Amino acid sequence: MLIVIHDLRKIYRMGDDEVRALDGVDLEVERGEYLAIMGPSGSGKSTLMNLIGCLDTPSSGEYVLNGERVSGLDDSELARIRNREIGFVFQTFNLLPRATALANVELPLIYRGLSPAKRRPLVEEAIESVGLTDRAHHRPSELSGGQRQRIAIARALVHGAKLLVFDEATTALDPESEAFVLAAIEALRGRATVLAISHQPALTSVADRIYRITDGKCVEVEAAKGSDRAAS
């Protein structure tokens, strides 16, 4: 298993009120699996994504990622895990506006401490994999929304992340760009574990498993009809 979660809880206190964003989540995700998580606004799905992505810490419970217990780590240790194990693709792209596409993709490798000589071939390969070699020296403002999302995918892939988190990654895209994101995810099937947080049927319908979050509870629904798991 790449991910093992047991009785995970996240509680926020607002004055005298207690908000249970997550209220006892249990989840196991196999290596190479494609998991989709759905839920209405305020259901807790973004909170779960932040915990799985090591962007936040739980109030209680266990979270083990790739054999390491991360639920009790501090901020610097979580940053280390994110840089080594996790790649993110967000709805808003999260690219540095003044940096070129190449420089944006290079960032995770800089944080890891790789030399320029070791970084460059990895970056070029990642950008080529999303079909944007000819746009490598353009800034985000010079790219379309779909191209920016493809650069975000290249950045998520460049450091060999074992877990890729797609947060509403196709919501703002045109149909052609959405199709490219779906093709990229399909190409990753079996090679990396993909977690998609989305309302979009295009992303969720081809997942191996679909979970729905309601009131901080996470429940598996039937496997997607297009997945190998559903066909077995």
The length of the chain is 232
Number of domains in the chain: 1
Report CA-CA distances (Å) from 161 to 13, 81, 82, 87: 34, 10, 9, 6
Count CA atoms closer than 13 A to 3's CA, side-chain side. Answer: 27
112 burial (CB, 10 Å; 0-12 / 13-18 / 19+) is middle
- Point out the least confidently predicted range of 84-88, 92-96, 225-229: 225-229
Cα 108 versus chain centre, distance: 14
Which pTM does this prediction carry?
A: 0.84
CATH code assigned at 39: 3.40.50.300
CA distance 186 to 180: 10
> Do β-strands 68-69 and 60-65 pair in parallel, antiparallel, or remain unpaired?
antiparallel
- pLDDT for 182: 82
What's the pLDDT band for 181 if we cut at 50, 70, 90? Answer: confident
DSSP state of 141: G
Q: Confirm whether 22 is domain-assigned.
A: no
**106 has pLDDT over 70:** yes
Range of the domain at 208: 33-54+74-231
Q: Confirm whether 67 is domain-assigned.
A: no
